[in-house]
Amino acid sequence: MKFKRFFSIAALIVVSTMSQAELKSLEASNINSYSSNIYPNLNLNDLDQIKIEINQTATPNSPLATVEINKVEFEFPNANNLTATNLTKVNGTPNTYRTVVTSPWVFKKVLVELSGAEDFDGINFSYKVFVMDSTSNINNIEQTQGLELLSGNAELINVTAKKVVDIANGRYLGKELILRLLHNTNLEGIRVEATWFGHGTKILTLPSPFDARLYPVALILDRTPGNSRIKARFDNGTETSDESLHALLEQAFGPLPQ
């Protein structure tokens, strides 16, 4: 089995000392939603979609990224959509964000609250929308209260446009195989898009401890016959552990002949 290598990166690898920012687009799946129906003519049932735009910034001093939620959109089939921007992290909470916005419905203002894991990517999150009352302290986002209008939970899927940083071409089990190393990582590890003719396209995951300061830059293949191995190199020169290519393909595409 032969692989022809194409690199899209410079040969010189340097350690970054600058902050790295990444804009992510997320969409909800498996949405569970509850509406209090406090206003009879406002139908917020059957929430169609939730879209979130976040800015994830990594610094040299921390393996975890700082998350800013730029915008969240709630799409309803029977009511005006709700858009909230510039959510602020609530002090004293692990990952709860709030903002007060002008209501698209009959109320003046609503409070939007999101809670989730560190990077709001590929995990469960919860949401709440409150109607602001006249006694609410709008200027203090942490103490602002209101009547709950909508709440629920969902999972988030990263739908950010894929950025390919390295490509490897070859054949495996008699079929052409194209491996594309993706720039965006997640908590599970490094993502490699595999297009295998006759089988389709799937995502392979190279296990790796999550560190938002590092980005993958190269695929490295060991082409030993019968035991091909694959790993990725980061922008600081470190590498993931090597994994069996056969095992990764089998995890993604299903049982394969040995």
pTM for this predicted structure? 0.64
Q: Name the band, by pLDDT with cuts 50, 70 and 90, for residue 14.
A: very low
Residue 158 neighbours by CB distance under 10 Å: 17
Q: Name the band, by pLDDT with cuts 50, 70 and 90, for residue 188.
A: confident
Kindly list the domain boundaries of the chain, sorted by start residue: 20-158, 162-253
Give the pLDDT score at 226.
81
Phi, psi of 249 (to 5 degrees): -65, -40
Beta-carbon contacts of residue 56 (< 8 Å; ≥ 6 apart): 21, 22, 23, 24, 65, 66, 67, 68, 119, 212
- The pLDDT tens digits of the residues spanning 68-121 come to 899 999 999 999 999 999 899 888 887 899 999 999 998 888 999 999 866 565
Q: Name the band, by pLDDT with cuts 50, 70 and 90, for residue 64.
A: low
Beta-carbon contacts of residue 254 (< 8 Å; ≥ 6 apart): none
Q: Assess contact for 224 and 246: CB atoms under 8 A.
A: no
The secondary structure of residue 239, as a DSSP letter, is B
Q: Name the band, by pLDDT with cuts 50, 70 and 90, for residue 10.
A: very low
- Average pLDDT for residues 48-63, to the nearest whole number? 77
Stated as kind and residue range, the H or E segment containing 251 is helix 245-253
CA 77-29-44 angle, to 5 degrees, is 30
Q: Assess contact for 1 and 223: CB atoms under 8 A.
A: yes
Residue 63, pLDDT > 60, answer: no
Q: In terms of pLDDT, which residue wins out, 160 or 73?
A: 73
Give the pLDDT score at 153.
95
Residue 22, pLDDT > 50, answer: yes
Q: Mean pLDDT for the chain? A: 82
Beta strands in the chain (DSSP E): 3-7, 20-35, 49-58, 66-75, 82-85, 88-89, 96-102, 109-116, 124-132, 146-158, 164-172, 175-182, 189-196, 200-207, 216-222, 229-234, 243-244
- Average pLDDT for residues 35-51, to the nearest whole number? 90
**Percent of the chain's residues with pLDDT above 90:** 47
**Percent of the chain's residues with pLDDT above 70:** 81
Give the pLDDT score at 7.
32
Distance between CA atoms of 19 and 11, rounded to whole angstroms?
A: 22
Q: Which two tokens stand for residue 90?
A: 């609530």
Give the pLDDT score at 159.
78
Q: Assess contact for 230 and 206: CB atoms under 8 A.
A: yes
User: Lowest-confidence range among 24-38, 48-62, 201-215?
Assistant: 48-62
Distance between CA atoms of 134 and 32, rounded to whole angstroms?
A: 30
Distance between CA atoms of 130 and 105, rounded to whole angstroms?
A: 12
Local structure of 252: helix, strand or coil: helix
Burial of 254 (0-12, 13-18, 19+ CB in 10 A): exposed
- Shortest CA distance to 36 belongs to which of 45, 28, 27? 45
Give the pLDDT score at 162.
77
